[in-house]
Structures are given as C-alpha cells and as structure tokens.
Structure 1
Amino acid sequence: MEKSFVHPYMPNSVPEIRQQLLDELGVKDVKEIYGSIIPEELLYKERLDLPEPIRSEYELKRHMTGLLNKNISTEEYTSFLGAGCYKHQVPAVCDEINMRGEFLTAYCGDTYSDHGKMQAIFEYASMMGELLDADVVSYTTYDAGQSVCSAFRMAVRLQDSSGKNGEKEKNVILVPDTMNPEIYSQTVSYCRNVSEIVKAGHDEESGLMDLKELEGRLKEGNVAAVFYENPSYLGFFETQAEEIARLAHRYGAVCIAQPQVSALGIMESPMNLGADIVCGDIQPLGMHMQYGGGQAGFIASHQKLEYMEQFPTYMYGIAKTDKEDTYGWGRAMNYRCSHGSREKANEYFGTETGLWGITAGVYLASMGPQGMYELGEAIIQNLKYLTVRLNEIEGVRANPFGGSNFQEVLVDFSETGKSVADINKKLLEYGIFGGKDVSREFPWLGVCGLYCVSELTTQAQMDALIDAIRQIAAGKSDVSDKDSQVSKEVQAWDM
C-alpha cells in the first residue's frame, strides 16, 4: 500500500494524521516502533495483495449480504447437530434486554457507576445458584471450555501440595475417555504448566466411567481432581455421579462436574451428589446458535472460603452504602482476580461475556422452575421418539449403550455399509443437517453419528429424518431435482 493512499476504512492512513501520530511518538517511521520487537527477517516487505476497497456503504452492504447468503441456516434446513451448541427457543425478551444500550457492551462496568448492570449480574448468579443448588456462582467465563480449565486449575491450587515433606504432588486430573474432545484439548493446553490430564476408561457395556480403574488411579496418590460430564458428551446420563464423588473424596481429590444446564429442571444437580465444583456452558439459556460468538460459561461451588478464594473471576455481592436502608453492588474478594492483583492473581480473565450472563438471567427469569422442568421433559420425550424410530430402520442401531439419554443419542450405521460422512452428505439433499460424525473422535465406537434434538424439534421433522435415512440406507432417493440442486449449494464440511 502506497504511503499516499488513503484507505476509506482506516482514518490513520491519512498522511497528516499518520505524521501527527509519529511526531507524538517521537519516531520518523512506523518500522521504528516494531524494530526492537520483531526481527528484521520476519517483517513482510512486499505490498499486501488486497482487493480494492468498496467505497460505497450500500455496495459494501450488498457485498457482505452476498457472502452471508452462501450460508444455509437452521431456519432453512432441519438440524440434528449438537455436540456443544444447541438450538433452543429464545424468548423475545432475551433479545430485547440483550440489545439495550445500558447492557450492550463487552465491558463489565464499574461499581460506582453501573449498579444496574451489577444487579443484573447478581440476579443471574442468584438464579444460577438456585438451578445448580450452589451457594457461589462466578461471573461468566469465555465458554464451557474455559470454565472447565479454570475449575481444573482451582482444584490443583486447592490441594496446596508441592511435594514437600515427602508428600506426593497432587496435580493429575482424571477425566472420562468419552469427554468432549474439544474441551479436552482446551484443558491439555490451558493446564499443561500446572497439571496432567489423564483419561480414565469406561465400562464397555454402559459407557459409564469404569469405577475400578478410577479407584486404581486414585490410589496412586497424585490425583488432584476427578471430572465427569452429566449427561456425557455422547448423551447418556452418568448414573454413578454420587459414587464418583465418594471415591474422589476418599482419596483426597476434588470432584468436578459439568452438567448440561437444560437438563437441570429434571435432573439432580451434581452439587447434591457430592461435587465440589460445578462448571459448564450457558449457551442454551437464551443464546442463539452462532458461529464463534454467543457462548459463555459458569463456575459454581458451595460457600467454602477455601474454594471462593480460588475463583478466577468476579463475584458480585450486595454492599452497604452511607445512606440508611439503601444498598448497592460491589465486587467480593476482588484480590483474587487479575483486575485486583494483576500478574499475581490466580489466572487471567476477561469480561466480554458478561452480556451473555445478563441474557441468561433474563431467560431463567422468564422460564422459572416450572419452565425449566417442562423444557427438560420436552427434550426427553423428543429424544425417546427419535431413538425408537431410528431403531426401526434396518441396519441402524440407536443408543448402543442402552442407558438413559438427554438431548443427544449415538446412532450406529455400521451395518448399513455407509460412512457417517456419506450419510450426512446425502441428507443435505433432503434439507437436513445430520448428526455429528464422532467416528474419528472415538474410533472404538465404529461408524457412529451423534444426533441431537431440542424442544423445537417437531415430530414431522423427525419423521422426515427417519424416511430420509431409510432411503439412504437402502440406496434409494426420492429427492426432487429442485431440492437436490439446493443441496449442492451448501458448503461441504466434515460433520
């Protein structure tokens, strides 16, 4: 890009403004700023091959709309994809409050000026506490993955064992080998300097954690925490939750659980089954499916000071004021956070997901306990119907582990002679996004897809899926030429 070129999107490309900035910094050229930081051999010296800028706002909007129109949304196609991002009904009030100017920012706000925002976060945390039967719920994390990572690091700090005085250092985190592979990858990366993430095996018949193997590993004396998902990434309920917590505590380990929040209206909270720390995702609570955004996580525990001191994020509480009978909102134990202690804090955290916490609070307030119960019941009923119908198809076996599931179910296509990728590609011709292909994540499962439903999934949509899979399995197709042409416009990807 020539020095004289003024880019319409970049105010600092105006020569006069650029020179003012350089003068203020006391340098003659931009290269002087980076010279002491980036080695000369790494600097790109050629002209960037960028397209010409679109100068008209209308033309730019039309260009971007054209790009976005290449996508096919779950409003156009029926989706049976889940695996961490779910399509639920979002009450209109969630979007309305989410877009209000008082809340619409990535900044957390200040205790002296943003009491409305502070109260909204406090109310969210209070309702999450009721849902989880937890005493303490933190400010939101980036997503479920970060909440799990932070919970793992909390557990290691709680052990307060450095191998001194002959003690064996407790820094191993035991996780199920059926754990969400993306979150597992996050934990390995995020926790590598403080802990070792070790997979524990599962029972081949039920898919549940193998308790004998779990206890054997706990006896080694170096386990800081035991982690489980409920329901699991593969959809089945971990019915041994109480026993897992009991074993963890017997050998001095912390018990960490990740529940699916949509199930908590019908499922006992892990906090009542012995879990010490509960963490997870709040995307199902009023957040639309999005590509990259619309995710936030939570961390919760009982009201024990030693646990509260290890939380990495803000916690908001009611604060007294200098006026009688009035109160405000303040940050509790702020010394724990990177905001309060900078580099000496437990770990770094950001505040950009606070808006989603407020949105989740609005969702919980609009649903209430009865609404959350009805949500769970609707999902269970839809999944049961889909499972029964899938098992009617020759060569298809749904729920191979045979236990109780929530929202998602494994579907084994091994006997059809077709791969999950091939089946999903054909389903696009029917206007259907098939379940996630988990055969590469878990080769021992064979040819399996993970199918998801929600309260929005209709019987007609499930029947259409059954008919489509039956025809695909039999090598037939009744798709019209028009529908087939539409499917060819869908971007292909590995599901």
Structure 2
Amino acid sequence: MNRPFVHPYIPNTAPDVRAEMLDTVGAASVEDFYADVPADLRLGRDLDLPEPLVAEQDLARHVSGLLARNVPTTERLSFLGQGTYHHHVPAVVDEVIGRSEFLTAYAGEPYEDHGRFQALWQYQSLMGELLSMDVVNVPTYDGFQATATGLAMAGRITGRRRVLVASDVLPAKLSKVRDYVRVHLDLEFVDPVEGTADVAAIVARLGDDVAAIWVETPSRTGAVEHRLQALADAAHAVGAILVVGTDPVGYGVLTPPAEQGADIVCGDIQSLGLHQWYGGAHGGFIAVHDDPRFVMEMPSRLFGLATTDVPGEVGFGDVAYDRTSFAHREEGKEWVGTAAALWGIAAGVHLALMGPQGMRELGEVLLARTAYAQRALGAIPGIRLTDRAVHLREFAIDVAGAGLTASGIVTALRAEGIEPGVPAGEHELVVCVTETTSQADIDRLAAAVTGLVAASAAEAASTLDPIAEPEEHRA
C-alpha cells in the first residue's frame, strides 16, 4: 500500500493537516492561493528537494555546508549597493538588540515590558529630528512596503489615481510598489534629465487627477534631487502630494525633504546600524507632519508619550490605535502585519550613538568618498559618468567606450577578490562606496578597471592592425 509522503519538517504535507487548513480558509486546493501568479512564472513541478535528514547532526552538517558557500562582503573588497549597504555597525548596537527584552521581531503588546515601547518611541523621536518631521511610525516590514504605503496614503487622501514618477527607481523597489498599489493607483514615468527630475516635463503632465509626485533621492544611481521645492510647489498647486522615497543616512549634511515641501517621506533604515546579512536587515519608515489628514491615514503603529495617574510618571503606548487594521480588522484601510520593530530599536541605538555631529560627519565622508570615486573612475579612458548630478554613495559609469561590458568587469574583477558593483544594463555599472570604503580601496578598483581597459584596447589593436611582414619579404 502506497502511503502519501509526509515531510518531517513540513507539517502541512500531512493529508489530514492540509485538508483541515484548506477547509478552514474555504479553499479547494493550494492552487487557489496562487491564482494571481501568471502561469509563465510558475515552476510547474515539485521542488527538487534532497531527501530529508532525520538525524540532527546530519542536518546541521548539511546546512553548514550550504552556508559555507556564502562569502560576506567583509571578506572581499565590495562596491555593492543597490538597496543593501555595507555601513559600519557599532558593537553596542548588536549588544543592545541582543538583550532578551528586545530580541523579537514584534513590536510588543500592552501586557509586555513597556521598555520596548519606550525604546521605539525614542527611535521615532530621533528619526523625526533627523528628518525634520513630526510623526514617524514603528518600522514596517521594509522600505519597499513603506514607499508603497506612502503612495497609497496619497491616493486615499486625494481620492485620485495618477502618480507621476520623477526619478529612476531601484527595479526591485519599483516591482514591489507596482504590485502593492496596482489596484488603486496608475504610475506614469517622467524620464529624469542628468540624473534628476525634469521639472518642466512633470509640470506639463500635472492635472487635477494627479494624486502624487513620487521622487527618489538618492535615486537608483545615487543622484541627489536638488529641485524638491519646485516639485512640491507644482504638486500643491493642483492639490497633489509630494512623496519622497529616501535613505536617511545623508541627512546629517543634506537638507531634509520635509524642509523642501515634502508631505510624506519614506524609505528604509538598513543604513542606520543594520548589517547587510546576505540581503540585509530591513525596516521601513513613514514620516509626516503633525496633520490629522496624514496621521490618520498611516496604517502602521505609532507609540506616544502620555502622563499616568501617578504624579511624575509617564507611560508609552499606541497613538490613535483606532485607525489601524488591528482595530478595524478586515475593514481597515490597509493591512499591516509583523513590524520590523527590532530593527527600529537598532536604528534608535545607532542614532543615539552618532548624535547630530556624528551624522553630519558621516554625511560629509559619504559625499567626499563618492566624489573621489567618481573622479577616479571617470578619468579612465573610455569610462564616463552617466550624469552630472551630485551623488551620495552610489553612481553609475558607462563602460561602452572602453570596449567592455558591465558583466564582463564583474566576472574579471571577482576573480581578483573585488566586487566592482551591480550591472544595470549591458554597459552600465552602478558603483557604491561607504564610510567603510577607503581611498586605497577606491584606488585599487580604479587600477583594476584601468588594467581591463588596457587589455581590451590591446586586444582590439591586435585584431585591427595587419601582421608585419618579415623583412626579407619586403620589396
């Protein structure tokens, strides 16, 4: 008699368990859950999984072997960025978030230790100061979700559908945002000029059906938007909202978007005391002014400070809880589940350690290192910078003039222990530097790319030049 296979690690492979789960949610089969996934994206077969290892020591050995294939960027010279960055994480950050009262991904509940609430309130306060905003949420799952939520808020506030996208957006982020808002919003793209927004083109496409202008600064290639105020004025003139997706790491030295007319500022806190960790610890922030129209559209948790019945004592707890999906359940405006609250505490510790002066110095170093790397690589024959904007941390180079491809550079330099950047096309390479990248590191990258350019030129010359005839054959 053939019995159905039940995997020892996957309980829902047991037929009775699976049947009970499907019956509970009213689904006929597991396929019902994937109805929205196009057929060409489905595997169409069972996963090719190894036989289960039932002995713990065998399983541990197998998993250790898999993990050993990973090579952390701390062991290579890395110029990788594009959403997950190698910034220095002070040891104290890991020490604090490893404490038992904090070590959970959840935000905590009223019956738990209120120290977690206080830590997250302090994180919100520090982020508010950095961003020049009044209200900042407990972190959402990641910056992609936070940006999608910011745009959805703009749609709900204005009752409109059109969103003008003014910047180059990280492809993975754009994919997540588009999937999140596609039922409610229509994204229209206005090509940037020299890395930043084409204000005139955006103004020409504005109308009373536009919900928001969406700007990313730094953009996909690290360009810093310098005309936020003009974009804010144009949006407000037609009753639209300016939503700015950003990375908070530079606002010790850059002017925060809120001081340039931004209504909703959102992004990821990975750069504030969180490791890369093979894809990163990520948490999303949404920041708004103290305006009930905006605050009451924020679906995520907010922690506030309140007095208690005991003179001189204060407490920390949820603010405007009745606006959340926790209160409204299926009637909520937007569902927010697990928050990345632990990473909020990590970012709060990091900001408290850095202080205003530390964040200012960090921003200055990032701008200086980026500019130095741009000069070093842009001076190589055949290599050019893709725009003339001010860049923070990342920038793109075009290598077509050197007879190279971006993927070819990655393959060649990876053999030398260098991760030179992320290909963004056949000839475009996005290079990232942080405060952990030294001048010597940048010089090493420039020298390695120069060597590839020279080798490419020599190969081209040997192909084009005629072979010299022996002297005795000459007339």
Q: Superposed, which structure 2 residues align to 1:63-462 within 5 Å?
A: 63-159=62-158, 161=159, 170-203=160-193, 206-218=194-206, 220-397=207-384, 399-439=385-425, 447-462=427-442
Quick one: which amino acid aligns to residue 400 of structure 1?
Answer: T
State percent identity of aligned pairs: 39
1:391 deviates by 2.2
1:351 deviates by 2.7
Cα displacement string for residues 222-276 of structure 1 (whole angstroms, at most 9, x for unaligned residues): 1011111222221121111111111111111111112221111110000000001
Quick one: which amino acid aligns to residue 390 of structure 2?
Answer: S
State the alpha-carbon separation in 1 of the partners of residues 276 and 48 from structure 2: 34
Counterpart pick for 2:449 among 447, 469, 473 = 469
Q: Please give the secondary structure, in 2, of the residue aligned with 1:198.
A: strand
State the alpha-carbon separation in 2 of the partners of residues 454 and 293 from structure 1: 16
1:69 deviates by 1.3
State the alpha-carbon separation in 2 of the partners of residues 463 and 452 from structure 1: 14
1:472 deviates by 1.2
Alpha-carbon contact 1:424-1:435 (below 8 Å) kept: yes
Alpha-carbon contact 2:168-2:216 (below 8 Å) kept: no
Q: Please give the secondary structure, in 2, of the residue aligned with 1:342.
A: helix
State the alpha-carbon separation in 2 of the partners of residues 144 and 41 from structure 1: 30
State the alpha-carbon separation in 1 of the partners of residues 335 and 80 from structure 2: 32
Q: Please give the secondary structure, in 2, of the residue aligned with 1:318.
A: strand
- Structure 1 stretch displaced more, 177-186 or 409-418: 177-186
1:333 deviates by 0.6
Alpha-carbon contact 1:400-1:411 (below 8 Å) kept: yes
1:180 deviates by 2.0
State the alpha-carbon separation in 2 of the partners of residues 355 and 325 from structure 1: 29
Q: Please give the secondary structure, in 2, of the residue aligned with 1:245.
A: helix
Quick one: which amino acid aligns to residue 59 of structure 2?
Answer: L
For these two proteins, the number of residue pairs brought into alignment is: 444
State the alpha-carbon separation in 1 of the partners of residues 192 and 98 from structure 2: 45
State the alpha-carbon separation in 1 of the partners of residues 31 and 313 from structure 2: 62
- Specify whether residues 118 and 171 from structure 1 end up closer, same or farther in structure 2 by C-alpha distance, changes over 3 A only: same
Q: What TM-score, normalized to structure 2?
A: 0.87
Quick one: which amino acid aligns to residue 140 of structure 2?
Answer: T
Quick one: which amino acid aligns to residue 209 of structure 1?
Answer: A
- Specify whether residues 78 and 327 from structure 1 end up closer, same or farther in structure 2 by C-alpha distance, changes over 3 A only: same
Quick one: which amino acid aligns to residue 474 of structure 1?
Answer: A
Cα displacement string for residues 127-167 of structure 1 (whole angstroms, at most 9, x for unaligned residues): 000000100001111111111100011011111x4xxxxxx
- Structure 1 stretch displaced more, 120-129 or 49-58: 49-58
State the alpha-carbon separation in 1 of the partners of residues 156 and 8 from structure 2: 51
- Specify whether residues 264 and 33 from structure 1 end up closer, same or farther in structure 2 by C-alpha distance, changes over 3 A only: closer
Q: Please, which runs of 5 or more residues in structure 1 have no aligned partner?
A: 23-27, 162-169, 441-446, 478-495
CA RMSD, Structure 1 to Structure 2 (Å): 2.7
Q: Please give the secondary structure, in 2, of the residue aligned with 1:184.
A: helix
1:367 deviates by 0.7
- Specify whether residues 367 and 49 from structure 1 end up closer, same or farther in structure 2 by C-alpha distance, changes over 3 A only: closer
* Counterpart for residue 58 of structure 1: 57
- Specify whether residues 390 and 192 from structure 1 end up closer, same or farther in structure 2 by C-alpha distance, changes over 3 A only: same
Cα displacement string for residues 188-232 of structure 1 (whole angstroms, at most 9, x for unaligned residues): 1111111111111222xx2221111111111x3210111112222
- Specify whether residues 49 and 321 from structure 1 end up closer, same or farther in structure 2 by C-alpha distance, changes over 3 A only: same
